[in-house]
A and B are shown apart, each in its own frame.
Chain A
């Protein structure tokens, strides 16, 4: 084997497109070549090291709850306009002009002109959010948006200031406003200042790891006070108290147990990419079913309510493979009638390993 061929092999490998069988045969050729070629050898080592180090770069955890709340606001906004009016019906119509009509109708109905993407400028004492207008902006008028600002402070119920808490404004759905969202983090004194907010009506909320608190201090969006931002003015004193979750005497919301599901080959070989593999957890009380599918590598995470038992089933496995076993970290055989339990889990995340064998 010559250097060029080895290079080609490396390229294929980097792109992740070698099948199991091929890589086995090829690998022995490559290894033979490597013994006599330091250049290729170095290159392979470099890439392998790089791949290992790349995977070790950590990802800062995201605030899933806050993301979900914002997503729900987005969905809520859409569901109200889903009742088909005369304009909306137009995008149901088949025909060559459908996409154009549909996008147009979407714009009219939603009055969506701008989606302001924000970036946080880390300068000065108080973080300032600067919305920018993306290229898709469809109304030229959006270029001269009248904006206002607001500032305030966030504390715990005990009166301590909360720093590094994200504070966001989201336009009240269906208020005729563009779907603006601006986020900043509170500073060391728990103070925040949001600028360049297009005039309009907004919900203000703070989110920490637990769940969002809406201004002036409620967990439920229905109790949130709508804040009206006027052009050229600064609303001061948007102070609120974070509603505590930890010391709350009322029964806590159902807790979630993270479960890492790994799919692996019985001999540890690389599995073919298969985006449709999915796992379904059916609650043994029959009242809920949670499905998850994955495509990122062979590992994915599912969050299941605590203190429950689930029947587990896996489907969508690549053709040519059979599920050999599905076992959790309590050694429960989930393939043959065993139930996966989230009761009194000591190790978190829990683990489930799905082992496949080749037919």
Chain B
């Protein structure tokens, strides 16, 4: 059985000029990246565009990938930057306020919530959070990225990464409670 190339060795090949190897990395990661962006933006078109932007940036900045980098951490560092650049000037929280459907659900009249309502409220709470905290939630809760990978991505020590995840979850809970009335 042929051995499988790790993400790191593929990325090293891409860096040395074998752009075609990027196709394998695209196959492996585009879905997860899209989900990351969708959860960050709640916008399909934005999500798809950002995935494209990430692969463009990978090619552009491929020389910054070092052999001791973990690919996943490097990839999501690029993803965060791409997302940050796109939404620098956009107040994402407005998404919720402008959505009458969501506002109706959030209003106390329907406080006796089903799962769908809870899910809408939490989704809204998530989108209202500051970007850096929202990232912590998405990466740790959906992508189950372990603290050491998050630490590498943020360029901080592991205990600090744990603290940030915890703090983000507390903040989300408070916001969720507030919105639930």
Do A and B come together as binding partners?
A: yes
**Beta-carbon contact of B61 and A103 below 8 Å:** yes
**Beta-carbon contact of B49 and A280 below 8 Å:** no
Q: How far is the CA of A138 from the CA of B51 in the complex (A)?
A: 21
**Beta-carbon contact of A132 and B4 below 8 Å:** no
**Beta-carbon contact of B122 and A50 below 8 Å:** yes
Using CB atoms, name the residue of chain B closest to A311: B1
Q: How far is the CA of A315 from the CA of B118 in the complex (A)?
A: 39
**Beta-carbon contact of B4 and A278 below 8 Å:** yes
Check A276 for interface membership: any CB of B closer than 8 A.
Answer: yes
Q: Which residues on B sit within 8 Å (CB–CB) of A118? A: 49
* Residues of chain B at interface, number, CB under 8 A: 76
Check B128 for interface membership: any CB of A closer than 8 A.
Answer: no
Using CB atoms, name the residue of chain A closest to B176: A50
With A67-B34, A295-B32 already in contact, the answer to whether A280 and B1 are too (CB < 8 A) is yes
Q: How far is the CA of A56 from the CA of B117 in the complex (A)?
A: 11
Check A321 for interface membership: any CB of B closer than 8 A.
Answer: no
**Beta-carbon contact of B122 and A53 below 8 Å:** yes
Q: Which residues on A sit within 8 Å (CB–CB) of B82? A: 117
Q: Which residues on B sit within 8 Å (CB–CB) of A92? A: 16-17
**Beta-carbon contact of B59 and A292 below 8 Å:** no
**Beta-carbon contact of B119 and A57 below 8 Å:** yes
* Residues of chain A at interface, number, CB under 8 A: 75
For window 117-157 of chain B, which residues contact chain A by CB distance below 8 Å? 118-119, 122-123, 126, 137, 140-147, 149-150
**Beta-carbon contact of B169 and A74 below 8 Å:** no
CB distance from A263 to the nearest CB of B (A): 12
With A70-B52, A117-B86 already in contact, the answer to whether A82 and B6 are too (CB < 8 A) is no
**Beta-carbon contact of A62 and B47 below 8 Å:** yes
**Beta-carbon contact of A99 and B64 below 8 Å:** yes
Q: Which residues on A sit within 8 Å (CB–CB) of B172? A: 50
**Beta-carbon contact of B28 and A14 below 8 Å:** no
Q: How far is the CA of A102 from the CA of B6 in the complex (A)?
A: 24
Q: How far is the CA of A292 from the CA of B56 in the complex (A)?
A: 22
Q: How far is the CA of A166 from the CA of B57 in the complex (A)?
A: 23
- Residue from the list A14, A57, A71, A278 in contact with B52, Cβ < 8 A: A71
For window 46-101 of chain B, which residues contact chain A by CB distance below 8 Å? 46-53, 55-57, 59-61, 63-64, 70, 72, 82, 85-86, 88-90
**Beta-carbon contact of A16 and B146 below 8 Å:** yes
Check B45 for interface membership: any CB of A closer than 8 A.
Answer: yes
Q: How far is the CA of A67 from the CA of B165 in the complex (A)?
A: 31
**Beta-carbon contact of A55 and B142 below 8 Å:** yes
Q: How far is the CA of A84 from the CA of B52 in the complex (A)?
A: 25
**Beta-carbon contact of B52 and A17 below 8 Å:** no
Q: How far is the CA of A59 from the CA of B142 in the complex (A)?
A: 11
Using CB atoms, name the residue of chain B closest to A103: B63
**Beta-carbon contact of A134 and B19 below 8 Å:** no
Q: Mark A269-290, 1 if CB is under 8 A from B, else 0.
A: 0000101101010100000010
**Beta-carbon contact of A71 and B30 below 8 Å:** yes
Known: A181-B49, A296-B143. 16 other contacts (CB 8 A): A15-B161, A15-B165, A47-B169, A59-B34, A62-B38, A62-B48, A68-B26, A71-B52, A74-B52, A82-B17, A84-B17, A119-B46, A132-B86, A273-B144, A275-B72, A297-B143
Chain B interface (Cβ within 8 Å of chain A)?
Answer: 1-4, 6-7, 16-17, 19-20, 22-24, 26-28, 30-32, 34-35, 38-39, 44-53, 55-57, 59-61, 63-64, 70, 72, 82, 85-86, 88-90, 115, 118-119, 122-123, 126, 137, 140-147, 149-150, 161-163, 165-166, 169, 172-173, 176-177
Chain A interface (Cβ within 8 Å of chain B)?
Answer: 10-12, 14-17, 46-47, 49-51, 53-57, 59-60, 62-64, 66-68, 70-72, 74-75, 78-79, 82, 84, 91-92, 98-99, 102-103, 106, 110, 112, 115, 117-120, 132, 134-136, 166, 179, 181, 183, 185, 273, 275-276, 278, 280, 282, 289, 291-297, 301, 313, 315-316
